[in-house]
A and B are shown apart, each in its own frame.
Chain A
Amino acid sequence: MRQNYAFLDENSKKEIRRKTLKAIAIPGYQVPFASRELPIARGWGTGGLQLTLSLAGQSDTVKVIDQGSDESVNAVNIRKLIQDTTGVPDTIHTDAATLIQSRHRIPEVPLKPYQILVLQVPMPEPLRPVEPQERVTKMLHADKEYSGAWLRLFEQIMNYDSITEDADYPVLVEGRYVMAPSPIPRFDNPKMDNNDGLILLGAGREKKICALPPYTKVKSLAFEDYPFEVESFDDVICRQSGLTGVYMDELIDEETGETYYQTNDTSYMQEAMNREGSVK
């Protein structure tokens, strides 16, 4: 049997694109879609992958990252599936990509107007931790009743005197819908606000698509006296590259037992080191 271009049949891709358009028209709103089976298991990025497959055209260049890395097994597998079924070229350079699929990070290089970032989402419903029923959360969104999302943050302040949510920190989109941005670090939240590119969020298991069209207002929830703060990396230096002020992983040197920091966005780090090298 001949393999279909981009794995999915044309009708499936069309349906996904149609739902994506709807999501773009209602920023931050979760649009249900008929999530397809893929040769990777649900919960491993199938929502993002379906978006990518529905969008990848002959003129695209694809980049796939997992927690900042182009070389992790997941990223490699997803990239391979996209390439095998579409033949589109791939890159690790954020600037050179037109279509970027990512898990847990927004790249350090700001998106360009011609770029689409596809985020993989395990749990798209920001109210789920306080309300288990989908029927109810739908009504809460309709009524713009987001006390539950605020209450979670309030409870963290009561228990720890600060908001402890450091990934998937809820945002208010265009003053209307509260959205779960997928488990990106808080550090990446401000990148969504008024950004130049298109951000799409796909949840395969939960069958939902969300979108942030370019220049959408995206505000992290915060209280007047407990403002939103990102993790600060201004005082730490990447051991490998000397970079500072970018999102870093805290690692432990097995030999010395020392804690050190390393830039999480590996392609960004490489580019920075190459530039450094060419100057020298």
Chain B
Amino acid sequence: MSQLELFRKNKIKLGPMQDTEAALDSEACFKLKGSRVTMTILELYRYDYKSFNDTLSSTVSSAPDFFQQTPVILSLEKCPADNFIDFIELGELCREYGMIPVAVRGGSEEQLLSANVAGLPSLPPASISTRSPEPAPDTAVAVREVEIEVPISANKVITTPVRSGQQIYAPGGDLVVLAPVSAGAEILADGNIHVYAPLRGRALAGVKGDDSARIFCQSLEAELISISGNYKVNEDLQGSLWKQAIKAELEGDQLIISPL
């Protein structure tokens, strides 16, 4: 869970600051600079809790002082595309052993999504990231025509049960589920989530940071609900609204649950 907290903190809020170069000549309170750092890469071949934990503990026991809050990049390039990875769990394990995952590289769409939910951005694959192209020096402004595909609607409607081990994501829209969402299943949307049946798994709305996203369900029995990174886990949910029809929304940083 602390990964989610981290995710929340990582939503950088820019406030007034003093003492930067830029502050001297403009309103700006910071300046972005490119730089190169050498990082440790954790190359993942497959992921399940037990074998990852075993490998980590044996790696770390051979060099106990090596990892001390060491940032690492998780490379998924050699990991099977259909290997579901719970990055929240993985992140917790890593931090137990002194490693702090900061980004993922490679990986399938589903894996990247799951990484995204855990607050881990993705880097381009190794071959591309080694050399970044220099911008053409003598053109001040490059005008390019970009074709953007605008879908008529990005909403997704699911009519069959979402089962344990399954993950469904509605990028760029709402997710509507007309059947139960099982414990062990995960549903995500950039927009709102509606479940017209019991919600027993994990539901994450506004995963790209939309604070106005909401979650609606017919019966609250969830393992976790989250809006834009602000979450509540099962034990926080088991109050008077347990098994009731509810809506969940953000008020500031507070996730508020109320009867429908």
Asked if A and B bind, the verdict is no
B-side residues, CB < 8 A to A, are none
